[in-house]
Amino acid sequence: MWLRSDNAAGVSDEILAALVACNTSVAAPYGDDELSRQIDARLSALFEKPVVSYMVPSGTAANALALASIAGPFDMIVCHQDAHAFGSECGATDMFSGGARFKPVPGAHGRIDAAVAADMLAGMAGPRDNTYRLGALTVTQLTEAGTLYRPADLAVLGALARKHGLRVHMDGARFANALTALHVHPADITWRTGVDVLSFGATKNGAMYADAVVFFDPALAENFKRRQKRSGHDLSKTRFMAAQLLRYLEDDLWLRNARHANAVARELGELLARVPGAEILHPVEGNIVFVGHRVLTAPKERSPCQIERDIDLTTPIDVSRRTGVHLGLPGDRLKITDPAPGSPLVWVNAQSGQPWFPAIDPDWRLLWKVQ
Ligand SMILES: Cc1ncc(COP(=O)(O)O)c(C=O)c1O
């Protein structure tokens, strides 16, 4: 088992079966097949609004091409300072938009601070023809810190965006985790609160490679197909992405996966919170647990809380470094036991015996032994 990221997780059996099932015949390429043609209707039903959508194989492609559709070469994109599209996608949006520029805003626990954004936008308002225009705002749901935007939070940001003429994008790489945690309708955290275009992630929650860009305002999608082609994301065998997405949405598979991942993350967060020296850095509201690790050795005395639990990691959760857990392969079980008093705290891979994340942080002493 490799406790690391929902990106490291496997693929749901049901989705693999759907891929095999659609491999029995030839079909029209580039989205003109029977399965791909069902996607818009399926997503329109889900969001209770006619949508136009396009499938892409990665979250980065979804974000960059979606943002390029609402922000041009001279536009500013307001984002959280930790936004994946801003800091972790190698300038994909900057490039595919032809020069749009991110304007990062701070905010606790991964959420844009609306008051700070309002001040900033007020300071930038007014006609100026020699600098960037206000173009778009992007929010991430679940946030990069594993927290949620409630519908009311989104409504405030949506109203602010409207006031300043910004289009709104949502990076929903972990949309299902947010949705199930909030117990709301998908429309309540998207178009009803002002989201114009959504990166609808499935890959991190059980698909192999299948995300969708969902336009709630079809006019914004005018050149999307061209953007896909130009960037090399117009896949010929689109039906294999459609097969994944249709199966993902069927039978509540996506919601079951997300609920399970969230529950495991919550349990793990509670467990980690009891470990002396460990610090949960952000509220665990979805499938991500961020753990600080100030104490690097076990206490001299055995801690009063004996920690010995089995955690069933059957769907992705995210324990990143400083860090969160995403993940587990179906059926994996994580056993956490107290280390011997006074011994170094280590967290090792059960099969390889390797410490977790050695390459990323050589000083990292991981907590506990995974057996
Ligand atoms: C919030 C968020 N958005 C987008 C992405 C990009 O997804 P991909 O790696 O499929 O390009 C990630 C990847 O982990 C992510 O965490």
| Higher-scoring residue by pLDDT: 105, 278 | 105
Give the CATH architecture of domain 6-254.
3-Layer(aba) Sandwich (3.40)
User: Looking at residue 135, what is its pLDDT?
Assistant: 96
For a ligand 1 pocket test, name from 4, 6, 58, 60 the mutation site with the most ligand atoms within 8 angstroms of its C-beta. Answer: 60
Under 8 Å CB-to-CB from 179, ≥6 apart: which residues? 186, 189, 255, 258
Residue pLDDT, tens place only, 155-203: 999 999 999 999 999 999 999 999 999 999 999 999 999 999 999 999 9
User: Looking at residue 266, what is its pLDDT?
Assistant: 85
Kindly state the average pLDDT of the residues 112-130: 90
* CA 59 to ligand 1 center in whole angstroms: 5
What is the average pLDDT score of the chain?
81
| Higher-scoring residue by pLDDT: 145, 324 | 145
CB 368, CB 345: distance < 8 Å? yes
* CA 173 to ligand 1 center in whole angstroms: 6
Atom 7 of ligand 1, nearest CA residue: 59
* CA 171 to ligand 1 center in whole angstroms: 9
User: Looking at residue 278, what is its pLDDT?
Assistant: 63
| 140 C-beta closer than 6 A to ligand 1 | yes
Query: pTM score, two decimals?
Result: 0.85
Residue pLDDT, tens place only, 316-365: 444 433 333 333 333 334 444 444 444 444 444 444 444 443 222 323 33
Tokens of 288: 């991500």
* CA 216 to ligand 1 center in whole angstroms: 21
Q: What is the C-alpha to C-alpha distance for residues 181 and 130, in angstroms, rounded to an integer? A: 44
For a ligand 1 pocket test, name from 4, 5, 6, 7 the mutation site with the most ligand atoms within 8 angstroms of its C-beta. Answer: 7
* CA 84 to ligand 1 center in whole angstroms: 7
| 84 C-beta closer than 6 A to ligand 1 | yes
Q: What is the C-alpha to C-alpha distance for residues 100 and 193, in angstroms, rounded to an integer? A: 24
**SS3 readout for 268-297:** HHHHHHCCCCEEECCCCCCCEEEEEECCCE
Q: What are the helix (H) ranges across the chain?
A: 13-21, 39-47, 59-70, 84-87, 92-96, 114-124, 151-163, 175-182, 224-230, 239-249, 253-273
Name residue 109's amino acid: H
Enumerate helices (H) and strands (E) in the chain, giving the number of each.
11, 14
| Higher-scoring residue by pLDDT: 265, 348 | 265
* CA 274 to ligand 1 center in whole angstroms: 30
- Residue 29 above 70 pLDDT? yes
Q: Which residue has the tokens 């004996």?
A: 306
| Higher-scoring residue by pLDDT: 244, 341 | 244
Beta strand 167-172 with 197-200: parallel, antiparallel or unpaired? parallel
Q: Where exactly are the structural domains of the chain? A: 6-254, 267-370
User: Looking at residue 125, what is its pLDDT?
Assistant: 77
- Residue 308 above 60 pLDDT? no
Atom of ligand 1 nearest to the CA of 142: 1
Give percent of the chain with pLDDT exceeding 70: 75
* CA 346 to ligand 1 center in whole angstroms: 28
Atom of ligand 1 nearest to the CA of 6: 14
Under 8 Å CB-to-CB from 259, ≥6 apart: which residues? 180
| 144 C-beta closer than 6 A to ligand 1 | yes
Helix or strand or coil: residue 9? Answer: coil
User: Looking at residue 355, what is its pLDDT?
Assistant: 44
Residue pLDDT, tens place only, 53-92: 999 999 999 999 999 999 999 999 999 999 999 999 999 9
Name residue 118's amino acid: A
User: Looking at residue 269, what is its pLDDT?
Assistant: 80
* CA 172 to ligand 1 center in whole angstroms: 9
* CA 158 to ligand 1 center in whole angstroms: 23
- Residue 301 above 50 pLDDT? no
Atom of ligand 1 nearest to the CA of 203: 10
Q: What are the helix (H) ranges across 204-333?
A: 224-230, 239-249, 253-273
Atom 6 of ligand 1, nearest CA residue: 59
| 7 C-beta closer than 6 A to ligand 1 | yes
* CA 149 to ligand 1 center in whole angstroms: 18
| 60 C-beta closer than 6 A to ligand 1 | yes
| 147 C-beta closer than 6 A to ligand 1 | no
Under 8 Å CB-to-CB from 247, ≥6 apart: which residues? 14, 15, 17, 18, 253
User: Looking at residue 68, what is its pLDDT?
Assistant: 98
User: Looking at residue 292, what is its pLDDT?
Assistant: 60
